[in-house]
Structure 1
């Protein structure tokens, strides 16, 4: 099975707002961004995050796709749509020190997000009649999948750069995984 994980294209966020679950518009020139994507069209299965920034990409290429709620970006709860610099230090500093376990009020921590993403991942890689898959998602989701495949410490997940509008391609053969390409 060949699995293409693509991050949505760049968003319009000039004020550096914290966002994850919240709908965040793509930049105004997003159709131009889509035209530059290196996109295959011969997928057996296409799955998208429910976020509009992902669905727009799947729609643009005319894919017949399903939506999976587990592919949403992290839920930052009460921090959603706040400027990162305006989040009170007494709330954000504990998260900076332990983003794996600490969460914003009403949000989720990284372990909770990991559980939902890996639930999706385990179902996907168990598919028997699928050769080529496209998953349209977010940087956090893609990093968690890579963390699962490569088994590196969770605290290192932000060391991996996942560019807007770029793919990670993973090959699964006989129960083994290989990363074929990154940020293509």
Structure 2
């Protein structure tokens, strides 16, 4: 089975805003970017997507028969959602930065919680030759941990490109 994780295109939101599970729109002309992704994907048997519009719009372009699943949403940043990163209390940011694997931002979730929900999702999907999963950078990083055994303390520094396709072959 082949799992193709696809990150949504860059949303239309001011740079520097924390927007994990905030449902932000896509920029004008996003359809062209979606068509480029489609060209890179090729055929697939099934598609799953985060319910956030930045992912669902791509999933709808790929197929009318997609399944939306909340477990594919980005990390929940809780009270920080919609706030500029540089306006968040520095002490809170430092504490979270030192403990992000086991602790979330106020009202949010930890990296371990994100990994656990992705793991639960992966255990429920039926076998298919090629599955597309339209999602977010944090979820793709969690997939790298679960499917490639990359250390949790290393995955958050890995670059995940907007519109990027990350493929995992499962035997």
User: Structure 1: 5+ residue runs without aligned partners?
Assistant: 174-184
Alignment of 1:36-51 (within 5 A): 36-37=36-37, 38-40=39-41, 42-51=43-52
| Structure-1 separation of matches of 2:136 and 2:152 | 17
Equivalent pair of 1:121/1:145 in contact (CA under 8 Å): no
Q: Indicate if the aligned counterparts of 1:21 and 1:73 stay in contact, CA closer than 8 A.
A: yes
Q: Does 1:93 align with 2:91?
A: no
- Ranked by relative contact order (alpha carbons within 8 Å, sequence separation 6 or more), the top structure is 2
Match of 1:14 in 2: 14
Match of 2:104 in 1: 103
* Superposed CA RMSD: 1.5
Secondary structure of the equivalent of 2:104?
A: coil
Q: Which runs of 5+ in 2 are unaligned?
A: none
Evaluate the alpha carbon distance shift between residue 4 and residue 15 of structure 1 in structure 2; reply closer, same or farther with a 3 A threshold.
closer
Greater Cα shift, 70-79 or 103-112: 103-112
Tell me, in whole angstroms, the C-alpha distance in 1 between the residues paired with 2:15 and 2:7.
21
Confirm whether residue 75 of structure 1 aligns to residue 76 of structure 2: yes
- Determine the structure 1 residue equivalent to 2:160: 162
8 Å Cα contact 1:95-1:103 kept in structure 2: yes
Return the offset for 1:133: 0.5
29-38 or 77-86, larger mean C-alpha shift: 29-38
Runs of 4 or more consecutive aligned structure 1 residues displaced over 4 Å after TM superposition: none
| 1:41 to partner: Cα distance | 5.2
TM superposition score normalised by structure 2 = 0.92
- Distance in 2 (alpha carbons) for counterparts of 1:40 and 1:74: 25
Aligned residue for 1:5? 5
Q: Secondary structure at the match of 2:76?
A: coil
The Cα shift of 1:67 comes to: 0.7
